[in-house]
Amino acid sequence: GQQLNQSPQSMFIQEGEDVSMNCTSSSIFNTWLWYKQDPGEGPVLLIALYKAGELTSNGRLTAQFGITRKDSFLNISASIPSDVGIYFCAGRRNRDDKIIFGKGTRLHILP
Amino acid sequence: DGGITQSPKYLFRKEGQNVTLSCEQNLNHDAMYWYRQDPGQGLRLIYYSQIVNDFQKGDIAEGYSVSREKKESFPLTVTSAQKNPTAFYLCASSIRTGGDIYGYTFGSGTRLTVV
């Protein structure tokens, strides 16, 4: 089945640093989504991308839909303690296909 | 406010027992899903339902069963046939299988522990 390769698997950073993570697929996707999961909670949508090349921001978060339609990137600027959690990328090929999730990037912030 | 509710938040089960996890939504969504989450494994699809009285197996359906008698409810039963049931279980819903502009809406999860 379809798979999304998300990297890195985990990150340890200092508060205030910028963060970058990415997601790649062997198939073309027409929608890319980025979710965040706080410890012990369900994932919550951060950013949705619908067009190749699209760059969308949500506060300190910026995500891009890759030109090839096979990848997406998420950047977090000036990280703060509440950014801790697991970030999932997700993609969908067509309108009626199920959404496929990456395995997540676990973000740790060092004091 | 509309949302999706999972209960209980924590559940303990003795080996050999069946247990049912509840998932209720008042978003008027047709599609509902159950995922299992283990550390480092991401979200693995157990079962999904596109409409009332219909459901399909996901990637790891063995040892689980579901029902969809009402649009609002999609309970998951973890049976004694599931050999490693300790995990975090997430329920999600959406307008249709492909999701809406917000993708899927998730509940807050149930952590099941076998004791």
Residues making up chain A, counted from first to last = 111
With b meaning 16 or more CB within 10 Å and e meaning fewer, what string describes A12-46? eeeeeeebebbbbbeeebbbbbbbbbeeeebbebb
Q: Region B35-60: what's the mean pLDDT?
A: 94
Determine the Cα–Cα distance for residues A16 and A19; give it in Å rounded to an integer. Answer: 9
Is A39's Cβ below 8 Å from some Cβ in B? no
**Contact call for A43 and B59, based on CB within 8 A:** no
Q: What are phi and psi of B47, to 5 degrees?
A: -145, 155
Is A87's Cβ below 8 Å from some Cβ in B? no
A8 preceded by a cis bond (ω within 30 of 0): yes
Q: Region A97-107: what's the mean pLDDT?
A: 93
Determine the Cα–Cα distance for residues A67 and B87; give it in Å rounded to an integer. Answer: 37
Nearest CA distance, B108 vs chain A (angstrom): 4
A2 — pLDDT class (breaks 50, 70, 90): low
A1 — pLDDT class (breaks 50, 70, 90): low
**Contact call for A41 and B98, based on CB within 8 A:** no
pLDDT of residue B107: 97
Q: What are phi and psi of A39, to 5 degrees?
A: -55, 125
Residue type, A14: Q
pLDDT of residue B1: 67
Asked whether the predicted pLDDT for residue B101 surpasses 80, the reply is no
**Contact call for B106 and A90, based on CB within 8 A:** no
Q: Indicate the pairing of strand A105-110 with strand A10-14.
A: parallel
Q: Which of B61, B101, B57 is nearest to A99 (CA)?
A: B101
pLDDT of residue A111: 81
